[in-house]
Amino acid sequence: MNHAKRVGQAIAAGVTLTLMAAACGGSSDDAGGTSTTQGTAGAKGGTVTVYHVNDVEHLDPQRNFVTDSGMIGKLITRTLTDYRYDAKAKKIILENDLADSYESTPDFKTWTFKLKDGLKYEDGTPIKAADIKYGAERSFSADMQEGAPYAHEYLDCPGYKGPYVAGNNGGKGCTAIEVPDDKTIVFKLNRPVPTFEGTASMKVWSPVPVAKDTKTAYDNHPVATGPYKIESYSRKKQLVLVRNDQWDAKSDPLRTALPDKFIFKFGDAEATVDQRLFADGTADKSSVSFAGVQPENIAKTNQANVKDRVVQGTDICRRYIAFNQQKPLLKNQKLREALYYGLDRTSYRDGRGGERLAAVVDSIIPQDLDGYQPEETFKAPPEGDPAKAKQLLTEAGYKGEKLVLGTADSGLAVKAAEAAQASWKAIGVNVDIRKIPGDNYYSTQQQDASATDLITAGWCYDWATLATIVPPVLGPDTTAPGKAAQNNYGRSQAGWDQMATLEKETDKTKLKDGLANLYTEIMKTAPLVPTVQDLNVYVVGSNIDNAVADPNTGGIPDLTQIGLKKAN
């Protein structure tokens, strides 16, 4: 499995998702996430092995914005708030993590957080509010742009370029962040953000001690604030996490931290991992995989020695293919519409593993998120409309020019890309596939010089609001006027004026309705084509306890709650 941008995978109707803030009111949505292996809290101790086909993109919290690295990051670094999935209650709950409390002004433009007592880094030094300020400031640096964009989008410090330029603004840093004392941090925003308590769950708000900042090399060893610290990290081979003895369980409502150690093994083929987990040999009884069961092995999940170890779940993410309008050919809306109608999303679904592992969608907004509207402009059937696509190609004046489709280089991603290629070939569009290593896929596609014409992508809302879908996927970069946001892979500029107006809205209902209607209007220009949502199926080792697929973190196994039946 290649994982989606920002921590998240599907939403199932009829299951309640409640976002509950510890200091404020919440909102509600629906989510899925099930497990047939959920049991007790598990034994304390032992080692869990996690297989993953690719190394992760980033562990540096200011750059960590992808589902798989997001889950690993939850073990190492803490944020002001964070989400915990309660599998028994089927709820995602917003908890105070480093924050003890928070409050906002009535206009939602100034937010004040108070830190808990006794918080420490792995070396025993205290975590201070100034470290959270510094961490957020790092995200303004040009070297940190792959991470969550909300600090440089929301904070009112125009022109600020991060701590590595001009002596960190003469030592003042981002003046929109104030730290009146070691336990208080104040954020002054350039717009109302009624749900900033959800924003505070992003890893961009993780503390970084300035004395330990190694800039881009910080990726190799972020200083731990969570229950685990890095013992060793060999890129593309193995990451080993061991207990952080400075972590205080009483301060942390999110992580059970039962195992003594996690070993992440990178590079083994998904099919090979499937066979190991099905066999449940001695070496794999305490193992899980981030990849999920491969399509060719789904039938084996019904075997007597396997079926009780199956974990199934959905997530909040949606996959899509963006049409890069920076490319001359794709400035032509008729061509974009032809590609939209020409894509057989059922064959794309089959490339992603078939009906057990994927479902066709008509929007990048989850069906059960408040504000979702069915697609009514193109009404393209799931199998596409080849006749309409060919008509639009003629109207576009397309003459057989080649387009390049970028995809991560893992199995299902490539198969889905090949299905899209075949769909477009059937209507007469010449498409080549470019395979990009999964551990730097998004960072490659975010760069104008290296981005492909057609970009396979995924998006998971960062908290349950359209404000974390529409602006980052389709809006402008607030620090570079006239440029698309870093995750606006289509480089679409439709609707930016209306988006700027909605940024000032303080009424949550009006903001939701405005963004829902704006999304519909933008999609009339065909900046992208929604494809599928993932349906996740995993097999875990027989010694794994409380295995749950977390819908808020990619639908992958929740390592913050996992344990072992017997310490190995």
| DSSP 8-state class, residue 43 | B
User: Strand 47-52 to strand 261-266: parallel, antiparallel, or no bridges (unpaired)?
Assistant: parallel
Q: Which tens digit of pLDDT belongs to each residue from 410-442?
A: 888 999 999 999 999 999 999 999 999 988 899
- Cα–Cα dist 431/428, whole Å: 9
In a domain, 309, yes or no: no
* Strands, E assignment, 461-535: 528-530, 532-534
- The number of domains in the chain is 1
pLDDT of residue 40: 53
* Strands, E assignment, 279-380: 287-289, 310-313, 317-323, 358-360
What is the residue range of 458's domain? 318-533
pLDDT of residue 225: 98
Of 145-149, 276-280, 498-502, 540-544, minimum mean pLDDT range: 145-149
pLDDT of residue 558: 96
pLDDT of residue 20: 25
CA distances (Å), origin 4, targets 42, 189, 536, 541: 30, 28, 13, 25
CA distances (Å), origin 322, targets 144, 184, 397, 505: 23, 41, 21, 28
Residues in the chain: 568
pLDDT of residue 93: 92
Farthest-apart Cα atoms in the chain, separation: 67
Q: Which tens digit of pLDDT belongs to each residue from 436-466?
A: 998 889 989 999 999 999 999 999 898 889 9
Quick one: pLDDT band at residue 41, thresholds 50, 70, 90? Answer: low
Helix orientation angle between 333-342 and 411-426, rounded to the nearest 10 degrees: 110
Residue 540 zone, left/alpha/beta (φ > 0; ψ -120 to 50; rest): beta
Q: Which tens digit of pLDDT belongs to each residue from 50-102?
A: 999 999 989 999 999 988 999 999 999 999 999 999 988 888 899 999 999 99
- The model's pTM: 0.79
Strand arrangement, sheet containing 430-436: 430-436, 402-408, 454-460, 317-323, 528-530
Helices (H), 305-409: 333-342, 345-351, 386-396
In a domain, 255, yes or no: no
Residue % of the chain over a pLDDT of 70: 93
In a domain, 157, yes or no: no
pLDDT of residue 315: 83
| Secondary structure (DSSP) of 95-119 | EESSEEEEEE-TTS-EEEEEEPTT-
Quick one: pLDDT band at residue 123, thresholds 50, 70, 90? Answer: very high
> Residue 134 is encoded by which pair of tokens?
């510094």
pLDDT of residue 4: 55
In a domain, 441, yes or no: yes
In a domain, 334, yes or no: yes
32 vs 2, which has greater pLDDT?
2
In a domain, 260, yes or no: no
Nearest to 469 by CA among 338, 341, 361: 361
Quick one: pLDDT band at residue 37, thresholds 50, 70, 90? Answer: low
Phi, psi of 106 (to 5 degrees): -60, -25
Q: How many CB atoms lie within 10 A of CB 296?
A: 12
Of 15-29, 112-126, 542-556, minimum mean pLDDT range: 15-29
- Cα–Cα dist 31/14, whole Å: 8
Q: Which tens digit of pLDDT belongs to each residue from 144-169?
A: 988 998 999 899 999 999 999 999 99
- Residue 413: CATH number of its domain: 3.10.105.10
In a domain, 145, yes or no: no
Quick one: pLDDT band at residue 481, thresholds 50, 70, 90? Answer: confident
pLDDT of residue 368: 82
- Cα–Cα dist 44/229, whole Å: 17
pLDDT of residue 212: 98
In a domain, 176, yes or no: no
Strand arrangement, sheet containing 261-266: 228-234, 238-243, 261-266, 47-52, 287-289
Estimate to the nearest angstrom the gap between the alpha carbon of 412 and the chain centroid: 18
Q: Which tens digit of pLDDT belongs to each residue from 351-363?
A: 999 999 999 999 9
Of 23-27, 91-95, 122-126, 233-237, minimum mean pLDDT range: 23-27
| DSSP 8-state class, residue 555 | T
